[in-house]
Amino acid sequence: MKPSELLSSLNLHDSLVNSISLGESELEIELELCNWKQEGFQETEEEMLLCQLNFFEVRNLHLEPVNFSFDSNEILEVQIESVDDAREPEKIRIVLSGGEDVVIIAFEANEVIFITK
């Protein structure tokens, strides 16, 4: 699935990033999703869900600050720049709280999958 399709259907604001890991061309973001903020949430469901976003064909990864240790950092904003050509990667920018500062994860990816744990 294109990142813009998935990320536009999820409300990631206030969800917590527990860790990120980068493979050769894959980025995994483990997070605690604020399920109660999702459209269609039922009160009988869990309010928080442990899940993972796996991005594929990742390139141009930029992390600021470079040496940041993730520990339940709150997602403040997600921006996606989609493209008309489905073969071209989309640009994703995620802004997180980082104590007294913010953390920015910016990258390009062609595909993403969402996994609940």
Domain boundaries along the sequence of the chain: 3-116
Identify the pLDDT of residue 99.
78
Name the strands in the sheet holding 16-22, side by side, starting at the edge strand that comes first in the sequence: 59-64, 101-109, 90-98, 73-81, 16-22, 26-34, 48-56, 111-116
The length of the chain, given as a count of residues:
117
Decide: 56 and 77 in contact? Cβ < 8 Å: no
Q: What pLDDT was estimated at residue 98?
A: 81
Q: Please give the pLDDT value at position 106.
A: 97
- Return per-residue pLDDT of the chain as tens, 117 residues: 999 999 889 999 999 999 999 988 999 999 999 999 999 999 999 999 999 999 999 999 999 988 778 888 999 999 999 888 888 999 999 999 987 889 999 999 999 999 998
CA-to-CA separations, 98 to 15, 24, 31, 107, in angstroms, rounded: 14, 26, 15, 19
Q: Supply 115's token pair.
A: 């996994």
Asked if 112 and 7 touch (Cβ cutoff 8 Å), the reply is: yes
Give dist(CA 30, CA 52) in Å, integer: 4
pLDDT at 27: 97
Identify the pLDDT of residue 63.
92
